Amino acid sequence: MKQPTLKTMGQQSGRRSWAEPWKIKMVEPLRMISRAERETALIEAGHNMFLLKSEDVYIDLLTDSGTSAMSDRQWAGMMLGDEAYAGSRNFYNLEAAVRAYYGYKYVVPTHQGRGAEHLLSQAAIKRGQHVPGNMYFTTTRLHQELAGGIFVDVIIDEAHDSQSLYPFKGNVDFDKLEALVEREGAENIAYVSLAGTVNMAGGQPVSMANARALREWSDRHGIKVYLDATRMVENAFFIQEREEGYADKPIAAILKEFCGYTDGAWMSAKKDNLVNIGGWLAVNDEALFDELRNQVVVFEGLHTYGGLAGRDMEAIAIGIAESVQDDHVRSRIGQVRYLGELLTGWGIPIVLPVGGHGVFLDARRFYPHLRQDQFPAQTLAAELYLDSGVRSMERGIASAGRDPKTGDHYYPQLELTRLTIPRRVYTQAHMDVVAESVLTVYQARERTRGLKMVYEPKYLRFFQARFERL
Ligand code: F0G
């Protein structure tokens, strides 16, 4: 097996490997079913990875959401759950952690990220207003649209090019933003929807300089900036690694500075914050907080639990503090990069540079003979599962959905299959097995046929759509 060189991980000379800053205390057995059984399971699931049973999966790289391993400290915290309906002590611990590490004033817990997206979209978007963002995310855009907003992509062009090596492909393009304000007027912009390590672009970061400039721009136009902080810790790592002046700053300090350029944030705590369930919303504006606190009791639960058990809030509070430790982030991204470098070493097309939370296979270049409406990324996910029981996720035309106005598919430029790495769960040997399976599927690429969609749900279709082989 070829060892990747992790020059970017601070190696000086010779071979000095990094390793995880933890050891394993408890294990969960894995099982691999036979190829014939996988064939049956795949057909029963309509070639949709979301419809597979988890026990039919060997290595599960569907998502990094809620799939991380909690630490012994977090599990100990679970025993300290204060399950009072109102005023649980764990809420105050969560509030203190968000204030300390993200720096926002007011905190509302929610059951997960989309609960927070729902509340913020309803409170901050007036019907017909535009919501510029650095690339769409499925649930984020849907909540903005359900609140009457019109999403406008203002990410830099490099983000849509899987081969561009630009170090901050998540950046906002100010020409696009300025053109939108000129066309629609600042009063018709609800807010700028800014995301750290942009998921649909392959986990690509936003630079500190871009966030700072966005703050200045927004102040000039009287427009708010809200941050999707879901993978903002990972974004902070890339700033530390790539941006002038940040090499010696701890991740925690970078995170706090970045958040300081925004007016508030929503969070899927299931990612960076290292828990299996949870989310939160945090803002600095008291009037908006009042509105959110009022809304949360309608949709989630009282404002001191927001759909979570006290023990869950405790696990988030502890997870936040663990998540910003430099050695944790370094090994987390180091593992993702290890997989990426194995694949690029074998000439397999992936999104470059390797992002924060996963390796994104470039299905367009993998299957150039398939049209986009033959679902190349979905096809690739199905082939990988068949080959080895590895589960990945489509992030292409199926995920993009349809334009609510015209009813046509959105045809995203990026047609990707995401190998998403849960935090603190799999070993380097698992990464080797995954890489070898991708290679096998790659070698059979010319013989591979695409898929057709035979069932399509109305909202977020990728979760439940069914496909058949062409
Ligand atoms: N924002 C981003 C950037 C996300 O990646 C997600 C979820 C959400 C918001 C919504 O949060 O799932 O807690 O309701 N992403 C998962 C994924 C589903 O697999 O990428 P949620």
Catalytic annotation present for 271: yes
CATH node for 72-323: 3.40.640.10
C-alpha 119/C-alpha 279 separation (Å) is 12
Q: What type of residue sits at position 114?
A: R
Q: DSSP readout, 400-447? A: H-B-TTT-PBP--S--EEEEE--TT---HHHHHHHHHHHHHHHHTGGG
Query: Which residues line the pocket of ligand 1, CB cutoff 6 A?
Result: 63, 65, 112-114, 137, 139-140, 195, 199, 228, 230, 268, 270, 279
Q: Which residue's CA is minimally distant from atom 9 of ligand 1?
A: 113
- Ligand 1 centroid from CA 36, angstroms: 33
Q: Is residue 13 very low, low, confident or very high in pLDDT (cuts 50, 70, 90)?
A: low
> In the annotation, is 228 catalytic?
yes
Average pLDDT, the chain: 96
Q: Which CATH number fits domain 17-64+326-469: 3.90.1150.10, 1.20.140.10, 3.40.50.10420, 3.10.20.70?
A: 3.90.1150.10
For residues 292-299, give the mean pLDDT: 96
Q: How far is CA 433 from the centre of its chain?
A: 23
| Nearest Cα residue to atom 19 of ligand 1 | 63
pLDDT at 1: 43
Residue 336 has pLDDT above 90, yes or no: yes
174 classed as catalytic: no
For residue 268, the ligand 1 atom closest to its alpha carbon is: 13
What are 38-52's pLDDT values in tens digits? 999 999 999 999 999
Write out pLDDT tens, residues 226-278. Answer: 999 999 999 999 999 999 999 999 999 999 999 999 999 999 999 999 999 99
One-letter amino acid of 380: L
The answer to whether residue 137 is catalytic is yes
Domain boundaries, the chain: 17-64+326-469, 72-323
Alpha helix segments (H runs only) across 228-309: 232-242, 251-259, 286-299
Does 139 participate in catalysis according to the annotation?
A: no
Q: Among this protein's residues, is 138 annotated catalytic?
A: yes
Name the 3-class secondary structure at 16: coil
pLDDT recorded at residue 2: 45
Ligand 1 centroid – CA 289 distance (Å): 22
Is the pLDDT reported for residue 24 higher than 90?
yes
Q: pLDDT digit string (tens) for 74-124?
A: 999 999 999 999 999 999 999 999 999 999 999 999 999 999 999 999 999
Q: Which atom of ligand 1 lies at the shortest distance from residue 357's CA?
A: 20
How far is Cα 194 from Cα 132, in angstroms, rounded to an integer?
Answer: 8
Which of 110, 138, 379, 448 is labelled catalytic? Answer: 138
pLDDT band per the 50, 70, 90 thresholds, residue 17 = confident
